Structure 1
C-alpha cells in the first residue's frame, strides 16, 4: 500500500503536539469502516446498514463523520481485504479523520454482540476496545445507541467535569450553592453553561462577587466556584412604625436574623410592609432600608417607615352613567364612601381586591337591565391628601327589550313545554328589558331538563340578535341533546364502615338505569341527609361505549358514634344536664341505637332506642324505644315508664308515612291542695294507650341547617277509646318550615305550627297533653309553658288550640366550624275550649347562635318579649342541646 506520501503529514501533526482527544465533539472527525457480520446469510445486509446506523447516531451526537461512499472508495483504491489496527489507522489518515471505527457483529442464538475498535489516527492513544451485548435483533438500535454513547464518553472524557469545589463561603453551607447549580459532575464542560451558572448564582442575591475557575486534570475538568458573601444579618429593627406593631411587621417579612443579607428579598419585604399599611388605609406609607455593616461580615438591617396620613374613600365616581343613576349603581358595589356611620359599618376602607369585583358587578347590573353592549373598564384609583378617589368608566350603549323567544336545534319536547322551563319569554310578554342573568339560567334549565331524559351530555346554545332600530333583542335557544346515556355501573368508593347497600339504597340511579340529572342531584341530597359522611362526591365517568357511563360515588366517612355530656338552661327546666351514648350507623348497616339521659330541677328522664330505617332492605322502617321519666309540673309531679313501637314507610320520593304505638304507665303524685279538681282526679296510677300517625313531606337539602326547601308534617294522636287506657283524647298538629336562600349566604326561614286537641269521650283531657307555649322551642323571650289559659285559681291549664310562628334570618359566622348567627321574630298563643283563635298573639324579637357541636345541635338564643304576660314584659337567654325545629 502507498502511504509514503503521507508520512510528512503525520510527522507535522506529531510535532504540533495535537491533543485531538480534547476537541469538542463537533471538531472530531470519525471514519466508520465496514463491520464483519458473523451471522446467517439473511443478516448479511447488516454489513452496509450497520455502519450507516452508527454514522447517523454519531452525527446526532455532534460528531463529524466521513461519508461512507468515500470510505468505500479508499478501501477499493488501497485494495484492502482485511482490516486490522494498523490498516485502519493509516486509512483514517487518508480520510483526513481523527479516529477510525471498525469491528464485527455476531449473532449466536438470540444474542447480539457488537465488538469494535476505536483507533486514534496519529498513534497518540492506544486503540480502545468497545463492545455491546443485547438480546434479540429487535434491540439492534438500542445496541448501536449504547455503542455510540460509549464512543462519545471515550472521546470526550478529557472534557468531562470531574469535580466542583466551592471556596470562600463562610456563612452559607457549600451545599446551598451546589444544589443551585445545574452543571453536575460527569457533565461535558461547556463555557456557555458556566456563564449561565454565574448569572444564576448572582440572581440568588447572596454574593457580592462570584468567580469561576477551570483546572485541567488527567481525569478531566475541575470547576472551582469562588464566592464573596454578603454580610450576615445579626439584627433587624423597624423605625417609624406607630400604627402597626413592630412584631407584626417582623413576622410578615422573609428576612430573618442569622440569614445572609439579600437585596432582592429585602425589596420584597418592603413591598410586604407597604401592603400591611395599605390594608390599614395608609396608602402613602413610604418604606426604605439601611444596612449598618461591621468588619466581621455582620450587619444590622433597619426598615425605615414614614406612615403618612390614613386615607379613606372620599368619593366614588361612575363616569358615563346616564340611564341609570349613580346612586343606584353605587348600591351594587362592595366598596363604599366614608360616611357618618363608617365607624360602625366599616365603609370607606379601600380593599383593592374588591376593585375588579365591583367593576364586574357594575357590568352585570347593566347587562341584567337591557344594556347588552355595556363595558366597564378597570377603575382608576387616585390617592390625594384628603382621601381616595375611585373612578369607574362606564360605556352604557343602547338599552334593549326582549322582542321574542324561539327554539331551534334538537327539539324533543313541544315548544309549550320548553317555554314553561324558561323565563325569558315572560320578559318578552311583559315588555321588560333583556336580562343576561335570566339568559344564563334559561340555558342551564334547558340543559338540565334534557338530562332528566337520559341525555347526560345535553347542552344549550343561544343566538341573540339585536335590532338597533327597534332596540329589541330576539333570543333563539338551540338545545343540543347529544346521545342518550345509560348507567353501566355504580361504583362505591371511600366507605370503610358503611356497607355498600346502605349507600346504594339512597341512590336514585342504579346499574342499567337511564341517566337523569334530577335523580343524580337527588341521590346527592339523600346521601348527605344520612349525615354519615363529611363529603359526598358523585362523579360521572365516560366509558368506551358512548351510550354508557359509570357513576363513582366517593364518600368520606365521619364518626357516627357519640359519647357526650352537656349542660344547658331553659326558662322551664332551669339548669339541666344531658348525657348520651349513640351510634347512628351500627355495624355500618344504618341502624341507629342510643341511650340518653336528661337531668334538671324539674325533670329526669332515660330513653333507650333502636331504629332500622330499612327492615331487611325493604322500604319499611322499624324501631323500638323504652323510657323512664320523672317530671315536675306547676301543681303536681308525674313519673312514668313505657315503650313505643315505631314504623315508617315512604310515599314517593319526598313523603313518608310514620306511625307508632305507645303504652305508658304513669303516676300522678305530690298534688298541691289548691290544684284544680281535674288534676286531683288524676292522682294515682294511670295507663295511657296511644296510636300516632303522621305524613311528612320534606324537600329540604340538608338534615341539619337546611338552606332551601320545605318541610310539611300533619300528625294525629289517638288515645283511649278503642285502644283502652285512662287517657282519652285526639290531638292533631300541622307543622310547616320553609327555607329560602337570600343574598350573601343569608337564609330566610319561616316556621309555624297549628294544633288542635279534643276529647275522645267524656273524660277530661290530661293537663300534660294540652298546649303550652313559651321558651326556646316556641315563642322565645317568654317563660316556658306560661303562655297558656288558666284555671279559675290562676294555675296554668293549657290550651286545646295553639298557633305559633317563627321568622328567622340565618347567616354564617364561621363556615368552617358551622356556626350560624340569627335574628328572629316569634308570635303565638294557646287558647281554651271556650276561646276563639282571633285574640292577639304574644310577640317577641331576638338574636342567637347555633352550632352543630360534637355534643349535638347547640342553641344559644336571647329573646325580648314585645307584649306583657301577666302584666310583665320579660326577656330570656336560653341555651339548649338538641334538635332544631
Structure 2
C-alpha cells in the first residue's frame, strides 16, 4: 500500500493564515436499509435509517428526510439523489447469518463517478445495535467531510516532564478529527507550561488516519544554585525565598521573581540599595548552573518620624502607636529602626484609631512620605485632627429584656465623656452577652450614630433585635481520641435542651482547659434541626498527660540518692489520676502511691487515697512509718471547694542503740498509731 508522508513544520501553523473549512452544507439522505433478518418488524429498515439520521450531528451536514423508495444499487442511488437534490446518499443493509450480524453501508456521491465509500461493521447482538449505530454515525461524519481521524498521538523529546502532564493541556486527542486550528492552540498551551524552548509538529498521512507527533525540546535543568556576595543574610534564608530549586526546569519568569524576592528580603533588613544580578552557566546541553550575585550596599535606619498638623497629641504619643520605630542606642537589642514598609499602612490605621478613640471622629491621616538621605530614613506623616467630640444622648431601643436604665449601667460609654469608638464596640459586645446569656444567641445590635457638629457631640442609639430564644441541641466532641466523652461532658456547665447561655458555655470551655488534658479547645456553633436550636461542637486537641522522671544526687548524709516519679493524670481516658513516687538513699527510703477519682459515681464528690511507707535510719535507731489517707472534696461554687482529709499513720522503731537511745525511743518498738481529720476550703 502506497503511503504518503509529509512534514508539517511549526512555522507553518503560525505564519500561514488559517485554512478556512467553511463550506456550504452537505445535503445527505439516508435510504431505508434492506434488512436480511429472519424475524424482523415491517418498518425495521425505515427505523434504522431514522436512527442513523438522528445520530449524525454536525453543523456542516444537513440530513434531508428520504422521500423515495428503497435503493439497492449504486446507479439507483445516484438518480434518486439527483431527483431529491442531495449531495450524498447513504444506502445499505443489515444482515444476520446464524449468530453473525453485520451492517454494510455505502456513501454514494450524487452525480459523480467515484466509487462509493464503504463502511462495514459487525454487531455482537441486536441489543448492541443502538451503541454501534453511534460509532457508525461518527464514522459517516468523518467520511462525508473527507476528514481523517488521528489514529496515534505521540509526544517525543520530553525527559523531565511527564507525557500525561503535556497531554493534559492539549485538546488534540486520539480518535478525533485532525484539525490544524486545534494543533496551533495546543502548541501555545504547551509553551505556556514554561518547560520547553522549542516545539514542532510532524504529521504522517495514512489511509486509516493521521499519526501526529509533537516533538518538544525541554529547557535545561538547574543542577546547582550559587549565591555570591551575601554577608548580612545567610544562604539558607535567601534560598527559602528563591522560587527556583535544584533539579527544577529553568524558567525565566521565576528567575525574575527570585531576584525581586531577594531584593524584598534585603529591604526588610534595611538594605534598600541592594542589587541582585544572575548568571546562567551551561554545564551540558541539558544542565545549567544558576548564580545570583548580590551587592548588599549599606543599611538604612529610621532616623526621624515627623508628624505635621498634630496639636492634641505630642509626636511621642503618636509614635507609641506605631510598629515602625526610630533608631536609638539600644536598637541592636530591640531591633528598632528598621523600616517595615508592609507595616506603614497599618501604622496609619493605628494612629487613626487612636484619634477615633479620643473623640476625633473626623481625623484624616495622610499617606506617609518616606525620604532617604544616605543611610538615614525620614518618615513624614500629615495629620488633620479636626475637632474633638463628646458623647451626647445615649438611648437603647427595641426588644429590651430589662429596663433601659438597667441596661445603661452595663455601658462604659457615658454621656459627657469623650467619644470612644473602641469602647462603643465593647459596649455592643457587653449588651450582646447579656442577651446571649438569656438564650438570644442571634441578637442583633445596631448602633445609630448622630453627629452634632454645632455642639461637638455624638448621640448614640442602640437598636436591639433579640430574635428568637435559642436552646442547645446536640453537644458533640471531636478530637478526643483517648479521653472519653463522659469525662468532657461532666465538665460542662450547660446541657442539651437547656436555654442557650453564653456565660455557661464560656465557663465550660474554661473548665475543659483547666483539666490539662488538651493543648487546645475550640467551640463551633451550628444551626440545629429546628430554627430555635443550636448544636455545639467542641473540638479538642489532646496532649500527653503522663510523665516519668528520674533523678540522682549525692549528699554528705544520704550519700548517693535515686528519685523516680511516674504520674498519669488521665488514666485510661477516665480522668482519674495516679502517681507512684520513690526516694531511695542510704539513710531514707520513701514510697508513695496516690490515686484520685474526681467524680465518684459520676457525682460532684471527688475522692482520693494515698498509701505510703517511709524508712529512716538515725544514729541511734531506725524509724519505720506506713499509712495512708482518704480525701473527699465537694465544690461550693465555680472557683472554690470544701476538702475533708482523714490521715492514718503507724510508726515504730527498730535497730536502736540501747546505750544512747532514749527511753521514749525504745518504748516505740511496738509501734504507735496516729490518726487525724482535717477540714479546709
Structure-1 residue corresponding to 2:448: 463
The Cα shift of 1:148 comes to: 5.9
Quick one: distance in 1 between partners of 2:394 and 2:345?
A: 33
Question: Which of residues 384, 392, 403 is equivalent to 1:414?
Answer: 403
Distance 1:120 1:359, change over 3 A: farther
The Cα shift of 1:423 comes to: 1.6
Question: Which of residues 690, 694, 701 is equivalent to 2:680?
Answer: 694
Q: In the alignment, does 2:475 pair up with 1:490?
A: yes
Q: In the alignment, does 2:516 pair up with 1:523?
A: no
Quick one: distance in 2 between partners of 1:575 and 1:335?
A: 57
Question: Which of residues 533, 546, 552 is equivalent to 1:548?
Answer: 533
2:514 is paired with a residue whose SS is: helix
Structure-2 residue corresponding to 1:480: 465
Structure-2 residue corresponding to 1:445: 430
The answer to whether the 8 Å contact 2:31/2:89 transfers is: no
Quick one: distance in 1 between partners of 2:591 and 2:185?
A: 79
Extract unaligned runs of 5+ from structure 1: 1-21, 37-43, 105-114, 136-142, 672-676, 696-885
Structure-1 residue corresponding to 2:107: 120
Quick one: distance in 2 between partners of 1:589 and 1:520?
A: 22
TM-score scaled by length of structure 1: 0.61
The Cα shift of 1:645 comes to: 0.8
Structure-2 residue corresponding to 1:310: 299
Structure-2 residue corresponding to 1:659: 644
2:118 is paired with a residue whose SS is: coil
Distance 1:413 1:116, change over 3 A: farther
Extract unaligned runs of 5+ from structure 2: 1-18, 34-42, 94-101, 110-114, 657-661
Distance 1:489 1:256, change over 3 A: closer
The answer to whether the 8 Å contact 2:123/2:132 transfers is: no
The Cα shift of 1:166 comes to: 3.6
Distance 1:35 1:564, change over 3 A: farther
Q: Deviations over 1:815-843 (max 9, x none)?
A: xxxxxxxxxxxxxxxxxxxxxxxxxxxxx
Distance 1:339 1:453, change over 3 A: same
Distance 1:362 1:84, change over 3 A: farther
Quick one: distance in 2 between partners of 1:338 and 1:410?
A: 54
Quick one: distance in 2 between partners of 1:313 and 1:592?
A: 56
The Cα shift of 1:295 comes to: 7.7
Superposition map of 1:246-325 within 5 A: 246=235, 249-250=238-239, 252-256=241-245, 259-293=248-282, 296=285, 299-325=288-314
Deviates more, 1:577-586 or 1:600-609: 600-609
Structure-1 residue corresponding to 2:4: none
2:185 is paired with a residue whose SS is: helix
The Cα shift of 1:438 comes to: 1.3
**Aligned-pair Cα RMSD in Å:** 4.7
TM-score scaled by length of structure 2: 0.77
The answer to whether the 8 Å contact 2:562/2:585 transfers is: yes
2:359 is paired with a residue whose SS is: coil
Structure-2 residue corresponding to 1:804: none
Superposition map of 1:728-877 within 5 A: none
The answer to whether the 8 Å contact 1:613/1:621 transfers is: yes
Quick one: distance in 1 between partners of 2:420 and 2:234?
A: 49
Distance 1:498 1:126, change over 3 A: same
Structure-2 residue corresponding to 1:647: 632
Q: In the alignment, does 2:331 pair up with 1:342?
A: yes
Deviates more, 1:445-454 or 1:89-98: 89-98
Quick one: distance in 1 between partners of 2:168 and 2:578?
A: 60
The answer to whether the 8 Å contact 1:118/1:130 transfers is: no
Distance 1:645 1:385, change over 3 A: same
Question: Which of residues 305, 318, 342 is equivalent to 1:329?
Answer: 318
The Cα shift of 1:466 comes to: 1.0
Distance 1:378 1:33, change over 3 A: farther
Greater RCO, CA 8 A, separation 6+: 2
1:327 is paired with a residue whose SS is: helix
The answer to whether the 8 Å contact 1:90/1:121 transfers is: no
Distance 1:342 1:31, change over 3 A: same
Deviates more, 1:518-527 or 1:682-691: 682-691
Distance 1:602 1:237, change over 3 A: same
The Cα shift of 1:368 comes to: 1.3
The Cα shift of 1:457 comes to: 1.9
The Cα shift of 1:449 comes to: 1.8
Q: In the alignment, does 2:546 pair up with 1:590?
A: no
Q: Deviations over 1:458-490 (max 9, x none)?
A: 222221111122121111112222222222332
Deviates more, 1:654-663 or 1:87-96: 87-96
Quick one: distance in 1 between partners of 2:648 and 2:396?
A: 63
Deviates more, 1:209-218 or 1:244-253: 244-253
2:637 is paired with a residue whose SS is: coil
Quick one: distance in 2 between partners of 1:370 and 1:92?
A: 92
